[in-house]
Structure 1
Amino acid sequence: MQWRVKPVLPVTKLMGAVALIVLTVAFSSGDSIRWALAALVGCGLVVWALRDLLVPVRLAADADGITVVTGFAGRRRLRWSDVESVRVEQTVRRGLRSEYLEIDTGDAIYLFSAHELGALPEDVVTELSDLRV
């Protein structure tokens, strides 16, 4: 089983980079600081979108274990015996509720949002627990 980034996310990030450049061209004539900031943020959005395009699968699982994405585009294979817990972590900040899939190996904790998984974290936990048994 695999869980991947929703396809709309990299497209949205790239559209944001283009919109930023268009707005900068339209509203900052000759202001080098605005141009530099727009270029920096635009490049950041493009790199972020490229990660989604190059490594769309964030989590994969089978009967032997799971594979998680680490860093920009690295992967780490974990046996089920290495995984201490798989659960949904919920946080509420400033009235906004966020849910993350948390995979705890004792040495590291891997967090995945619903956007990264393309599915609700609760559903992924259920499917992972079925595979783990």
Structure 2
Amino acid sequence: MDDNPPVRQWRVPATLPAVKLVGAALLVALGLLFADGDPVRLVVAVLAAAMLSGWAVRDLVAPVRLAVDSAGLTVIHGFAGRRSLPWSTVEAIAVDRRARMGLTSETLEIDAGDSLHLFGRYDLGATPEEVAAELRAARRDPTG
């Protein structure tokens, strides 16, 4: 897909990694505050903070989660890798809506036959419905 520059990219909002890092720092602070000499509480807080920090690092290293061009899609794969999906392998582009406890969540689903790629609002920096509409339009009009 190097020959086809991305027509559109969707990325993690710039503030999200900062929020995750602040949350990690708060977890460590709360662990220190409430440990009361119990090393297990502190270790659990530090482990949770390390996981949250790793998630923030992923957002910084690979902020673009989804890109589209005339050849197809590029999706994030693994921690920070990329995978190209030619339009011929994309079987469906759908938005899954679920209501739970008074809240509704939306997930963009890209079915590529042998793989299913899921993206939420905070992966894309836009609503999954908006992104799905743009992807469907790009699929119909491969000239961009």
Scaled to the shorter chain, the TM-score interval is over 0.9
Which ranges of 4 or more aligned residues in structure 1 deviate by more than 4 Å?
A: none
Q: Choose which of 50, 57, 60 in structure 1 pairs with 2:64.
A: 57
Matched position secondary structure for 1:14: helix
1:26 deviates by: 2.0
* Separation in structure 1 between the aligned mates of residue 32 and residue 10 of structure 2, nearest angstrom: 38
Q: Report what 2:23 is aligned to.
A: 16
Q: What is the RMSD of the two structures over their aligned residues, measured on CA atoms?
A: 1.0
Q: Choose which of 69, 77, 99 in structure 1 pairs with 2:76.
A: 69
Q: Choose which of 123, 129, 133 in structure 1 pairs with 2:136.
A: 129
* Separation in structure 2 between the aligned mates of residue 99 and residue 10 of structure 1, nearest angstrom: 21
Matched position secondary structure for 1:123: helix
Matched position secondary structure for 1:107: coil
Is the Cα contact below 8 Å between 2:30 and 2:45 reproduced in 1? no
The aligned length equals: 133
1:120 deviates by: 0.8
2:42 pairs with 1:46: no
2:121 pairs with 1:111: no
* Separation in structure 2 between the aligned mates of residue 45 and residue 65 of structure 1, nearest angstrom: 32
Is the Cα contact below 8 Å between 2:31 and 2:46 reproduced in 1? no
Q: Any gaps of 5 or more consecutive residues in structure 2?
A: 1-7
Structure 1 length-normalised TM: 0.95
1:95 deviates by: 2.8
Q: What percentage of aligned pairs have identical amino acids?
A: 50
